Chain A
Amino acid sequence: MTRPIRLVLVDDHKLFRTGVRAELDSAAGGALEIVGEAQDAPGAIAVITELKPDVVLLDVHLPGGGGLEVLRQCLFGGRKAPDTRFLALSVSDAAEDVIGVIRAGARGYVTKSISGVDLVDAVRRVAENDAVFSPKLAGFVLDAFSGAPGAAAPATSVDEELDRLTAREREVLRLIARGYAYKEIARELVISIKTVETHVSSVLRKLQLSNRYELSRWANDRSL
């Protein structure tokens, strides 16, 4: 890594931002530079549009539209910062939230209980355009993609491919859900870490693009 990753923190709790900042500073050792902060959706959109950071740590529950609104404005809809990568950070484990931000374009989802070292690792991975799956998210994806691909979906070749996880992807997800780190997964499956990352990114793409109807129905069922 030649230059530090430029990071923006978005969270509505000042205390939490301060904590994350301190933790990242001590754990990253200069590999990260926090260039901005925001505490609500409009503020975040302004800061991100102006600074065009590499990575945004984005809280899912924000005043002014939530993390979803920020994602919408910066990525697909508004395209105000199309090259910025987003890592969602939340205390919520609700399937609706998790699937929601991933579908809106976040490259990963971690819970706030993550350790500083793991968080730095996750940020680095997202900055390199890889995906970050927490065990919970991996479980959700396995659950949502379980069973035969949706019979209701029209069976064009693209949909077929998007609606189904390969055996290898499934294996990787299961290991993530079991609490394995990428390094351990690579060793377990006798593949390189890069290959593990490729599999996870591919799952992320399917998660974002699949119009498999079970996905939204499943998330809604889970939300109660």
Chain B
Amino acid sequence: MPPDPARDGFLRLIEAKPDIGGRYVGLKRVGTNGGEGHFSLVFSATDRQTGRTVAIKVFRPDRLIETYRFQCFCREAILLEQLVGNANILEWLGARDEFVERVQSNTGIPFDLRFPYYVVELAATDAAEIIRSGQWKPERKLVAFRSMCKAVQRIHRRGIVHRDIKPSNFLLMSDGDVKLSDFGTARKIDGTESAILANYPAAPGDSRYTSPEMHALLHDDDPTLARQGDIFALGATLFELFSGVILGVQIFDASFAADLARAMGAVQKRDRRRVYLQFVQSLDAGHPLPSISAYVNDTPACIRGLVDNLYKSISTLDYQKRLCDFETIFLKIDQCLLVLRNEEKVRRWKQQKEQYRLNHASKFARRESKRIVNRLGASQ
């Protein structure tokens, strides 16, 4: 992160506070920068009431003028509150509130800084870090991915789309649970809530995990398309779990960009989908997704094809062909797990099958040669 003196100042200021709201004490920044967010700072603290270690997400006061970002922050807290009680979703632990700090300007004039915040459970690390460290074995990756899918399925059932699914937004709790976090770009698509802005200049979330139709901003007209976008990002996460490579970085080259630009060629908002659908098939056909097996990794040969098939079916570039049925996705994950856990048995079964085929072939050959010999004998 480039030097940000204001951020450092806020981090020090909050760490120096004895408590927040008289309830949260022992404030300490998470990581060296208080998290990776540009608009918020994350601290760990102890809840005096419960004795539990929690995470406090504080909105940077100098970014309050960016209304859209602040609205996203507020919406995140509201959504997390609505999602309380759902497994695999980061648990919301306290109401949204704010504290005020009086500071002095450079010219010596005192003024108040407003720090909105909310409290959630504290995570040990996130999936991005796990991927980089290479700690997880294939089986653990599949189990974690199952939890990730479960989390997305849960929010979709509640009429919420996340729109920023990626490994760093899946937090790993100290008990090993994987939980979905960072609902800053999430929104309800059940019609109860409208978008913060009518038109967005770019797709929400991390471009490296954004689906092509989200890049083309089709969700402006049809917010429900963001569901397919979440699924695409899940596929990209699975790809990264097994290959270490970010899918968007891999596929987004100049030729892909040129083809996508053609699909995004509509000038009028109402024409977007029509134009996009004209080009999406060639985009899909012209840019085959890379296979996990192409990367040197520890994925056992017995599940390479299965994992490949799973990620490719949920990250298909054409959203009309994308596998979006979670039950089928779970079935496929379970199939991978079954094969992996019974690798030795599967290997032996395959060997037996091959042996049977060979035996059968040689039996057939013997029978055939006997028949020919008999026929030759008869003719003589």
| A, B from the same assembly | no
